[in-house]
Amino acid sequence: MRLMGIDRRRVMLALAATATTGLLPRWSHAETPDRPVLLTSAAQIQGGYVAAGLTNTGAVAWTLALPKRGHGGAVNAKGDLGVIFARRPRRFAVAMDPRTGRKIAEFETPDGRHFQGHGIFDPQDRILIATENAYEEERGVLGLYDSRDNFRRIGEWDAGGLDPHDLVPIQGGRRIAVTLGGILTHPDYPRAKLNLDDMRPGLSILDMDGRIVSIHTPEPQYAQLSIRHLAEAADGTIWFGCQYEGDGRDSVPLLGVVQPGIDGISWVRPDRNAEQALRQYVGSVAACRETGLVAISSPRGGHCLIFDAAGRALLADWPVGDVCGLAARGPDLLASDGQGRLWRDGMEIANAPNLRFDNHMVALPV
Amino acid sequence: MRWIALALTLTALALPLSAPAQEGETQAMSPPDPESFRPVVAAVVDGVILPDHAGFTQAATGFARAMPAFCENPSPDDLSITKGEFARLVMAWSRVEIWRMGPALSDNRHDRLYYWPDRGGRGLRQVEALLQSDDDKATDPEALYAGSVALQGIPALDYLLSGDGAQVLTEQDGIRRCHFASAIAQVVARNAEALQADWQGPKGYGALMRDSGSANAVYRNPGEAMREILTRAAEAVQVVRERKLIPALGDGPAAARPKLAPLWRSDLVIPAVLSELEAVAALLEAGRLPALPAMGSMQAWVSGTRFDLRQAMQAITRATDGAPSWEQVLTDPARHKLLSYAVIPLSSAEKRLGFELPSMLGMVAGFNALDGD
């Protein structure tokens, strides 16, 4: 682990327990070792895709077969309902009890829409809000599914732009922030990017009734920065990570901050070495409320960078090959990689040799 | 058909038959020093990438000369010659199409040269509208270059030379269409030259790949440059399989959708696909991967990848041999089945190039790094 900057004391305090307790769980004394605390999707070495529940020691508590490759997930505030979404451009989602892996439902988007891979529950813990591509209309939407009615789709909101991908509740659940990748795709040509010459990425903020409050867009020179993942930091700022679709030689920011209520975007530029290590690709973002830290991962660069949200300074750089999944739980920053390893605060805590952890993890409530 | 001859030529170039390696063979192998990839990267850059880009520029400038000459004397014979030049352009493009990185992304060159997939006919509608208008832009290469990427590349030429109404090219009524195609040909040549120039020379992208190191902005060591090569190779196979073949194959001959494949108007779908796969196979030759020190069973693995590619190219060739058109290939049950069969070894080649080979070479190409979201 490499630490940098002047604020070492803070990150060391935040991470100190890791160094002293090694592999011992430390999230909560009340938690039993076999209780799942993370929900993720994964590929099995022997073939096939699963949802998985991971314990606080990194053990795989359960797996649940998925029809195809999954992507991100959602867990309700009560912690008894989880959902894994299909990786785009597929249309399925699987709901389960994330404590046991018991399957509750499997449901699909309607014709003309597919999941984009992420969702959240509304503050009442009832409505699942999922990013979707309305591909025939070339529009991004948020699909609304009633979890108490077998995930019946009850409506949709306009996302504010093309290619909505990740979303988080902000301001205590009063609003939602949505990343807009800006890339046009259509399932006729799976994953082909159809408008790289005319991308319009952004970050939209919506009220909980679907009204768009604001859309924050990058300057024209950064039009090929696809804004894809985000997290709300402890101070209410929204941190987002980008994937650049232009020339690898270009020097472009990959991390931005939006302050709700203030127009525009502030870019966070760590030193050039750290930025280059990301290989123009941020795969996931997580914010830790207890420590005030923000983590970003780059599977292409094989690095996690840790920032102090308040000072916007780079505090640590964890080299982890093929890392992507990130989650904050209690004081901990957790990362997963494509080799089935789970990392806590930059240290490997477990290895599931039969799994490759996919791009994202969701923490169950503490 | 001319593409049958091309297809057979390509198949004749296919690599010797050998059995695919067994997965277990790789387990005990220790990964080589990344520095050992330096000569491999140099061989790929100097032996494949630079010559292929030079070949593309040559084909593009040749076509840029042929088009205005044809417009001066639009006889049926000359149209046939011009379409032959266009086929050469397509074949040369298909060899460089796989390098969608650096120079191809700069100034949106890839999209300028090859705006495809054109989902919903967005680009085609622009071409048709400009053709029908009396806007001088259609015959002005500078104006085309400054405008939409859909109006200045190979798919637009495919439509103008072989799409609806192309029969007027040999008539007086076709003069605007001819000059439109001629102007696009000049822009294609300009972009091909710019693309090649960006790869070449001591400050070119080829040098960037060759001279990896801690001071290199893109490749910190030869292993990263090698990984990029394998990623592009895997992506090329994936694009052929997922975008150029599977959508057109549909769920069966009755549900086939031939127009979802690129270049169907000029009947160049198959030659272009074979040329692209041949370019991937050439990487395994030029890179001399089996000659790397400490490679152990590497040779068997590379042979397995070649085997997959050869199987796929053979199946494609057999499916299309003697067929009067691309549409006929897809609607004939026997041909459809054969072409569907090509998808299977392509899937295997993609897996080997994109995941297994990088893993064996000690690169964590991985699951997330290769194909995140």
The answer to whether B232 and B101 have CB atoms below 8 angstroms apart is yes
Measure the CA–CA gap between B128 and B173, rounded to whole angstroms: 15
pLDDT for residue B1:
44
Q: How many residues are listed for chain A in this entry?
A: 366
Contacts of A192 in chain B (CB under 8 A): 117, 239, 243
> Which residues in A have their CB inside 8 Å of a CB on B?
43, 71, 87-88, 117, 165, 184, 186, 188-192, 194, 196-197, 228, 243, 245-249, 251, 276, 281, 283, 299-300, 302, 321-324, 337-339, 356-359
Write the pLDDT tens digit of every residue in A13-23. 445 434 333 44
Measure the CA–CA gap between B221 and B198, rounded to whole angstroms: 21
Measure the CA–CA gap between B317 and B148, rounded to whole angstroms: 36
pLDDT for residue B361:
77
A245-249: list long-range contacts, CB under 8 Å, 24+ apart.
A245/A183, A245/A193, A245/A196, A245/A199, A245/B105, A246/B105, A246/B106, A247/B102, A247/B103, A247/B105, A247/B106, A248/A279, A248/A280, A248/B101, A248/B102, A248/B105, A248/B218, A249/B102, A249/B106, A249/B205, A249/B208, A249/B217, A249/B218
**Over residues A310-339, mean pLDDT:** 95
* Closest Cα in chain A to B247: A188
Amino acid in position B228: E
The answer to whether B216 and B208 have CB atoms below 8 angstroms apart is yes
Q: Is the pLDDT of residue A24 over 50?
A: no
Give one DSSP letter per residue of A291-317, joined into a string.
TTEEEEEETTTTEEEEEETTTTEEEEE
Mean pLDDT, chain A, integer: 92
Q: Is the pLDDT of residue B105 over 70?
A: yes
User: Does the distance separating the beta carbons of B366 and A338 come in below 8 Å?
Assistant: yes
Q: Is the pLDDT of residue A241 over 50?
A: yes
Cα dist from A103 to A35, B88, B185, whole Å: 17, 56, 58
Q: How many CB pairs under 8 A join A and B?
A: 98
Nearest to B170 by CA among B307, B77, B65, B287: B77
Structure tokens that stand for A10 in this block: 């803070």
The dihedral built from the CA positions of residue A34, A39, A41 and A42, taken in this order, carries a sign that is: negative
pLDDT for residue B215:
87
Among the residue ranges A263-267, A322-326, B162-166, B224-228, the one predicted with the least confidence is: B224-228
Contacts of B208 in chain A (CB under 8 A): 249
% of chain A at pLDDT higher than 70? 91
Interface test with A, best of B112, B203, B368 (most A CBs within 10 A): B368
User: Does the distance separating the beta carbons of B369 and A322 come in below 8 Å?
Assistant: yes
ipTM over 0.95: no
Question: Could you tell me if B327 lies within 8 Å of chain A, comparing CB atoms?
Answer: no
Distance from CA of B177 to the nearest CA of A (A): 25
Nearest to B158 by CA among B57, B60, B76, B86: B86
